[in-house]
A and B are shown apart, each in its own frame.
Chain A
Amino acid sequence: MQQPPSPHSTRKTVCRNPVMLPVLLIGFFTIHQPAGLSADNDTFTQVLVAQQERIRTIATAAKTSVSIFAGSSGGGSGVLISPDGYALTNFHVVQPAGIAMRCGLNDGKIYDAVLVGLDPTGDLAVIRLLGKDTFPYASIADSDTVSVGDTCYTIGNPFLLATDLQPSVSAGIVSGVHRYQFPAGTLLEYADCLQVDAAINPGNSGGGLFNASGDLIGINGRASFEKRGRINVGAGYAISANQVRNFLGILKGGHLADHATLAATVATSADGRVVVSDILESSDTWRKGLRIDDEIIELAGKNVRSVNSFKNILGTLPAGWRIPVIYRREGRPTEIFVELAGVHTPAMLNELMAGRRGKPSAQNKPDNKPKPNPLAPELKDLPDTIKKFYERRFGYANFFFNRIELERVQQTLEQRKLSLENQESTWRYQGHLEAGGSFTIELNDQSAKISLPTGISRWEQAVADAGLAAEAGFDASPPGSGGMLAALTMWRRLLLKGSKNLGGRMTYWGQQPLYSTTTTQLADVLELTTSSCRARFFVDSFGNVIQVTFFLGSSSTSCDLYFKGLGDRGPYWQPTHLTVTNDGGRFATFIFDVGT
C-alpha cells in the first residue's frame, strides 16, 4: 500500500535560517551603497541569490531521496543517511514490500535494497541499498532546534509519481513542533513529531523532511485527511530526527525494535501537576521507588509539563534504555535511573511485524493457511542478490546486520586493544575508597579477588559454573555489590579477547545514552548472554568499554560499573575512578592510584 495507514488523524525567534545568511549579508552591504542604485535592482539581485541558494539546497537533498517501488504492494519514499547505503523509511512502506525492495535514486538508476531493521511502533524502518560504494546521503540535524515558521521541504515519491526516478519537492513552513499523534492500537505512534504545511501525500511516506540548509529534520509519515479524500490539506507529520537517532543503532543492528513504557500511567492533578495515577508493581520503576501520586518533574533530562509532554518524551525512547526520572514527593525531588520496559512482548512484536494481529477473520478460518509473511521469508524465496544479506531470527528483522554491527564494534575494540606482552597476566589495582579506606583488586581470566576495609572477597568461574555460587551468595561478591568481581572479570575478558570466546552469545544491542557522563552521547552496546549471567558493555566512540551492566543468572537487579578516566596507564587498562551501583543504589566509588 502506498498510503500511510492512519486516515486520521519555547522557541527562539532569531533568524537561524542558513539561506538567510548570505541574503542578510547582502542586505547589510546594500544599505551602505551610494544612493542612486535603485532599491528594486537590489531586491532583484537578492531574490536571485536566495533562489540560487534554494536551488542548490534542493538539488543536494534530492540526490539522497529514495523512491521505493514494491509492485502491486505499492511503494513509498526513503532517504539515504550514510555513504554505505543505509536509508530510512516507514515501517508501513516496508511491511507490504517485504525484505527485498527495488529503489530508485535521481541518478536514474535502480538499486536492490534489503530490509535491515524495523520499528513498527514508531513507524520507522532502516533499509540498505546495494550495488554502489559511495551513495549521496543526508546529515541528520538536531530536530529540537526546529522552530515553528522555519522553511522546510518534503522530498519523495507522492502518488508514486517518480516513475522517472526524479523525486517531487514541496516547500512549506513548520506549522507545529512537539506534536503528538495517537497510535492505531499500539502501532504507528507519532510522538514529539513535526507538523508541516509542505505537502505530504500518500507515497511521500518514508521520505525526508529537510530544513533550509538541506539537513534531515524528519521522516514524513502521515497527514490529517478528511472530507477531500486522501490528499494533503496542509497538515502533514514527520517523525523527528531526534527520535530517529534514538532508534538508529538498534535498527542498524537488525532488530525488531520496541518502544518504551514507564510501566506507570500519569494524569493531570487538579492543580495542574503531572502525577502517577497507576504503576505496575512488577516494574523496575516501582522497584526504584516511584509510587502513585508522585509528581513527575523530569524524564530523560526533559521537563514534563503536561500529560502530552510525558507521552511525547516517552514515545521517542526505545525499550531497554536506562533513563533518569526525577519525581517529587512531599516537596522533595528524587532522581532515579529506570530501565524502561517494552510496550510489547517479543512475540507480540513478531505478530505485529507480520501484520497478523487484530485480524480475527483470518483466525476464524482454520483451513486457511496463514498468508506468507513478506518480512520473514524463506531464504529460497529471496532474489539471489539479497540472499547473502539476509538471516532470519526470532526477535530480529534481519539478523545478518547484527553481525555486521558486532563486527564494527569489535574492530573499534581491536584498535584500542593493548599490545603489551604481559597483558595476559594478573591485572592488579590499588587505591582508596571515596568513603574512606584502601582497596586492592586482582583480576585473572578465571578468578578475581578484592580486598576492602570490610574484608576480602573472591570470585571463581568454576564455582559460578557449578551453579553453587548463587546459593552461597558467592557470585555476588563482594557482598552488597550485586556481582562486581564477576562483572570486572567479564570486562577484562572482553578487553583481552574481544567479543568472541567469552563463553556465551554476544549480540549487538544497539545504542544507549551514557547518562553517567556529562553528555547524553550515545554509545554502542554489546550484550553477552552466558549460562550464569547477562552483561551489557557500553563502548564509546574511542573503543573504551566505559560502562558495564551485569545481571547474575536471570536476576532483574543489576550490578553496574561506571568507569571514568579510562586509559592505558601501566601495563593494562586502568580508570581513575570506578563507581559500582547495585540495583540503582551506590555500592562504592573506587579511586585508583595512578601508575599501579
Chain B
Amino acid sequence: MGTITLRNTCCRSKSLELFVTLAVAVLAYCPTSARCGDVTAVSVDAASRVTKLYGAGGIRGLESYQTGILVSSSGHIITVLSTAIDSEAIDCVLDDGRRYTASLVGVDLRRELAVLKIDGDDLPYFKLSPDSPRQAVGTRVLALSNLFGVAVGDERVSVQHGVIAAQVPLRARRGSHEAAYRGDVYILDCTTNNPGSPGGCLVTWQGLFIGMLGKELRSSQNATWLSYAIPANELAIGLEMILSGQTVQALPDQKQSLDFDLQSLGLILVPDLLNLTPPFVEAVTRDTLAADSGLQIDDLVVAIGNRTVTSQRGLREELSRLIPGDPIQLSVVRNGSIVLIDLGLIPSIAEPIRKR
C-alpha cells in the first residue's frame, strides 16, 4: 500500500471527522442537554472511577498496561481479558495516585472480560446493571483510558470525545485470532483502540456509564482497526456470572475461522519457510474454486486483482482485505508468461466455500 493512498484516505477521514466533530461540538453547547458544558466535571468524575493497570507483557503489540473500571466500592475492577493481566501481580493506580496490587477474581471467556479485586474501601465506582438501556446512534460520548500509558501516578487518564457511530455485532480479530465476543458493540468515531485503551470507560456527556472500550482489534471484514465498546448491560451480565463463581466459556465456534482462506479456496502453496517465500502453488484441491478456475501446480502468484504480491505473507494480507462478494482474480506466472486466473466471487461467509 503506497503512502499516497494512505495519506488520501487519511485526509478524507480527517475532514469527515472534523465535520462530525464540529457538528457534535456545536450541538454540545445546546443548553437543553442535561448539564451543558460540563465536559470537565463529567471527565473529572469519571476519571476517579477508572484505574490504570500495569501487568505482564511489554512485547511489541502486546502492551503491559491497560485500563480498568471500578464497579464496587470495595474495589472490584472490570477490564478486558488480555495478556497484560495474565500476571502474578497487577499494579493498579487510581487518579489520586493511590497504588494497589490487584488479584484476579475470574474471567468471562465469551465476553473476554476479567474481574480484578483490590483491597479498597469506600471507593468511587460505576454501578452496572443488566437492564442498562442501549444508547442510540449519534449519542455524544467521552472515552477515558490509559492510552499510551501517558498518565502516570496521580495524573488522570486521558479523555477523548466522539459519538456512537453504529451499534452492530462484533466481527473482529487480532492477527489471525478471532475475537470471542459476538454480541453487539458500539462503534465509535474517535480512535479508541490505542495501546493502553482496552478496559477504558465510555460515558455520555451527562456522565452516564454506557460501556467499556474493547481490545485492539481489526474488523474481520475489511481489516480496518476498530474503535468499539462493549455495552454496559453485557458487562453487568459478565460481572454477575464471574462474581457468582462461574467461568464463562467461549462460544464453541470460536476456533472456527469465519474468514475464507487459501485452503478453503482449494489453493495449497509450498511450505512457507522464509520471510519472503514466493507463492508457488504446490497443490490444487479437487472440486474447489481453484481447481475450477484452471489453476495449476507450479503456478507462481504475482498479483491479486491489480495489486502485486511478492510473498505468501503478502498474498494472505491482500486476501484478508477482500470481503464476500468481491471478485478474486489472480495473475500467475506459468512457463514464463503471465496467465490470468478468475476464481469468481467470494462466497458469503455463511456458505460453504466448496463448489455447489
Is B7 part of the binding interface, using a Cβ–Cβ cutoff of 8 Å?
A: yes
Chain A positions within 8 Å of B191 at CB level: 232-234
Return the CB mask of B229-262 against A: 1 if under 8 Å, else 0.
0000000000000000000000000000000000
**Contact A46–B30 (Cβ < 8 Å):** yes
Contacts A175-B159, A176-B155 hold; do A305 and B97 have CB atoms under 8 A apart? yes
Which residues 318-363 of A sit at the B interface, judged by CB distance below 8 A? none
A19 vs B25: C-alpha distance in the bound complex, in angstroms? 11
Contacts A23-B31, A175-B158, A227-B225 hold; do A54 and B14 have CB atoms under 8 A apart? no
Name the one of A39, A169, A198 contacting B32, with C-beta atoms under 8 angstroms.
A39
**Contact B18–A150 (Cβ < 8 Å):** no
Is A277 part of the binding interface, using a Cβ–Cβ cutoff of 8 Å?
A: no
Is B115 part of the binding interface, using a Cβ–Cβ cutoff of 8 Å?
A: no
**Contact A50–B194 (Cβ < 8 Å):** no
Chain B positions within 8 Å of A43 at CB level: 30-32
A560 vs B302: C-alpha distance in the bound complex, in angstroms? 78
**Contact B40–A47 (Cβ < 8 Å):** no
**Contact A47–B27 (Cβ < 8 Å):** yes
Is A404 part of the binding interface, using a Cβ–Cβ cutoff of 8 Å?
A: no
Residue of B nearest to A27 (CB): B31
Contacts A46-B29, A47-B29 hold; do A148 and B40 have CB atoms under 8 A apart? yes
**Contact B225–A169 (Cβ < 8 Å):** no
Chain A positions within 8 Å of B142 at CB level: 149
Is B38 part of the binding interface, using a Cβ–Cβ cutoff of 8 Å?
A: yes
Chain A positions within 8 Å of B31 at CB level: 23-24, 26-27, 30, 43, 46
**Contact B147–A235 (Cβ < 8 Å):** yes
Return the CB mask of A141-168 against B: 1 if under 8 Å, else 0.
0000001111100000011010000000
A232 vs B15: C-alpha distance in the bound complex, in angstroms? 13
Chain B positions within 8 Å of A232 at CB level: 14, 191
Residue of A nearest to B197 (CB): A234
Name the one of A20, A159, A235 contacting B37, with C-beta atoms under 8 angstroms.
A20
Return the CB mask of A162-203 against B: 1 if under 8 Å, else 0.
000000011111111011110000000000000101110100
Interface size on A, residues (CB 8 A): 60
**Contact B7–A159 (Cβ < 8 Å):** yes
A268 vs B147: C-alpha distance in the bound complex, in angstroms? 24
Return the CB mask of B308-325 against A: 1 if under 8 Å, else 0.
000000000000000000
A321 vs B326: C-alpha distance in the bound complex, in angstroms? 66
Chain B positions within 8 Å of A9 at CB level: 148, 150
Which residues 1-52 of A sit at the B interface, judged by CB distance below 8 A? 9, 11-13, 15, 17, 19-20, 23-24, 26-27, 30, 39, 42-43, 46-47, 50-51
**Contact B154–A306 (Cβ < 8 Å):** yes
Residue of A nearest to B17 (CB): A199
A175 vs B190: C-alpha distance in the bound complex, in angstroms? 13
**Contact B41–A305 (Cβ < 8 Å):** no
Name the one of B21, B40, B152 contacting A149, with C-beta atoms under 8 angstroms.
B40
**Contact B40–A308 (Cβ < 8 Å):** no
A447 vs B159: C-alpha distance in the bound complex, in angstroms? 64
Is B153 part of the binding interface, using a Cβ–Cβ cutoff of 8 Å?
A: yes
A170 vs B30: C-alpha distance in the bound complex, in angstroms? 20
Interface size class of chain B, counting residues whose CB lies under 8 Å from the partner chain = 35 or more
Contacts A13-B44, A149-B43 hold; do A172 and B161 have CB atoms under 8 A apart? yes
Is B195 part of the binding interface, using a Cβ–Cβ cutoff of 8 Å?
A: yes
**Contact A176–B150 (Cβ < 8 Å):** yes
Is B160 part of the binding interface, using a Cβ–Cβ cutoff of 8 Å?
A: yes
Name the one of B32, B47, B154, B190 contacting A305, with C-beta atoms under 8 angstroms.
B154
Report A224 CB to chain B, min CB distance, Å.
4
Which residues 225-249 of A sit at the B interface, judged by CB distance below 8 A? 226-229, 231-235
A11 vs B45: C-alpha distance in the bound complex, in angstroms? 11
Is B137 part of the binding interface, using a Cβ–Cβ cutoff of 8 Å?
A: no
A158 vs B14: C-alpha distance in the bound complex, in angstroms? 11
A30 vs B32: C-alpha distance in the bound complex, in angstroms? 11
Report A188 CB to chain B, min CB distance, Å.
16
A197 vs B17: C-alpha distance in the bound complex, in angstroms? 11
Name the one of B11, B158, B161 contacting A176, with C-beta atoms under 8 angstroms.
B158
A304 vs B313: C-alpha distance in the bound complex, in angstroms? 52
Chain A positions within 8 Å of B29 at CB level: 19-20, 23, 46-47, 50
Is B26 part of the binding interface, using a Cβ–Cβ cutoff of 8 Å?
A: yes
Which residues 148-194 of B sit at the A interface, judged by CB distance below 8 A? 148, 150-161, 190-192, 194
**Contact B150–A306 (Cβ < 8 Å):** no
Contacts A148-B43, A151-B25 hold; do A179 and B160 have CB atoms under 8 A apart? no
Residue of A nearest to B8 (CB): A159
**Contact A199–B26 (Cβ < 8 Å):** no
Is B39 part of the binding interface, using a Cβ–Cβ cutoff of 8 Å?
A: yes
Residue of B nearest to A272 (CB): B97
Report B241 CB to chain A, min CB distance, Å.
32
A224 vs B17: C-alpha distance in the bound complex, in angstroms? 18
Is B333 part of the binding interface, using a Cβ–Cβ cutoff of 8 Å?
A: no
**Contact B194–A54 (Cβ < 8 Å):** no
Chain A positions within 8 Å of B151 at CB level: 176, 179
Residue of B nearest to A9 (CB): B148
Scoring A150, A197, A224 by chain B CB atoms within 10 A of each residue's CB, the highest score goes to: A197
Chain B positions within 8 Å of A47 at CB level: 26-27, 29-30
A38 vs B29: C-alpha distance in the bound complex, in angstroms? 18
Is B42 part of the binding interface, using a Cβ–Cβ cutoff of 8 Å?
A: yes
Report A211 CB to chain B, min CB distance, Å.
13
**Contact A170–B14 (Cβ < 8 Å):** yes
Name the one of A19, A150, A172, A197 contacting B40, with C-beta atoms under 8 angstroms.
A150
Residue of B nearest to A49 (CB): B29
Report A202 CB to chain B, min CB distance, Å.
10
Known pairs A148-B47, A195-B150, A224-B194; list 15 more (Cβ under 8 Å).
A9-B148, A12-B40, A13-B38, A15-B36, A27-B36, A43-B31, A50-B30, A150-B39, A170-B14, A176-B150, A198-B21, A227-B61, A227-B216, A229-B6, A235-B158
**A interface, CB within 8 angstroms of B:** 9, 11-13, 15, 17, 19-20, 23-24, 26-27, 30, 39, 42-43, 46-47, 50-51, 54, 147-151, 158-159, 161, 169-176, 178-181, 195, 197-199, 201, 224, 226-229, 231-235, 305-308
Which 4 residue pairs spanning A and B have beta carbons closest together? Answer: A27-B31, A149-B39, A149-B40, A13-B41
The 10 listed contacts between A and B (C-beta, < 8 Å) are A9-B150, A23-B31, A27-B31, A43-B31, A161-B11, A171-B25, A175-B160, A199-B14, A224-B148, A308-B152
**B interface, CB within 8 angstroms of A:** 6-7, 10-11, 14, 17-18, 21-22, 25-27, 29-32, 36-44, 47, 61, 97, 142, 147-148, 150-161, 190-192, 194-195, 216, 225
